[in-house]
Amino acid sequence: MTRHPLRPRPYRWLPSRRTADLRLGERLLAAVVAFAVAAVPTALLLVLIESHWPPLHRLDAGAAHRLHTTVRDHPAVLSVLRTLSNGVWDPLTMRLLVAAAVGWLLWRRAWRLAVWAAATVTASGLVGWAVKAAVARARPALPDPVAHAPGFSFPSGHAMTAATCCTVLLLVFSPVLRPSWRSAARVVAGVSVLGVGFTRVALGVHWASDVLGGWLLGLGLVAATAWAFEGWRRETGRPVPPPLAEGLEPELAPDGPRRPEE
């Protein structure tokens, strides 16, 4: 049977799988660089902090004073906040959850999504450390402190880690969750991210603007690396679903599309 001269060969335009994999790594690196350059909201927040913009200064000082006073006068509340901040929502706990998710992805042979999750969380830690060192903002100095934390204040490492890890977990597990469970997971993730910020300000170890900066950096980083992952899917001819609805790799769903041969 003779092929019609005008009929294109199927998938002729697709790059080889090895080439696409190499480009995935390049895209992840480019995404981190682009994120660092384009973090405009965080840069604007820093300008306002450094210029001691009165509205932001009043917000920081007022929130720190009111929440710290309330916590100091209620030992039971203080105990709960310490447990949440230093245990349930501790950055190590969050990273261990992502590490478990990476292990599950490797078991499911979702190699590239595992690389994406690990690279995103690793980059989050490195970016947070670098920004802290560059800004060198002092932590709140409150009378009769109820908690202490080492290092600089901006951004909040707890807030940034929570925003990064919770979003990564949602994008990984959304395909395998039923709609009702998916909604519940989003609620838990949202409460965790907001709760982390509240505990850090209430314990007097961060300003409110530190928490906001951590959220912006964490979410911005996930958005950048998710864009890189979606670009790899397009290059390999895979569908790119709405990430918040179906996750980054819908093939993980029990009744999802068949995973292409590796």
Per-residue tokens: 96: 């261990």
Separation of alpha carbons 183 and 189, rounded Å = 10
The dihedral through the CA atoms of 141, 147, 152, 157 has a sign that is negative
77, 70 contact by CB (below 8 A): yes
Place of tokens 């290059």: 235
Beta strand segments in 75-187, E = none
206, 172 contact by CB (below 8 A): no
Per-residue tokens: 164: 């990064």
The CA–CA distances, whole Å, from 160 to 55, 95, 182, 230 equal: 23, 12, 22, 23
How many Cβ atoms from other residues are within 10 Å of residue 251's Cβ?
16
Inter-axis angle of helices 111-135 and 17-38, nearest 10: 20
Q: Which residues are catalytic?
A: 158, 206
147, 202 contact by CB (below 8 A): no
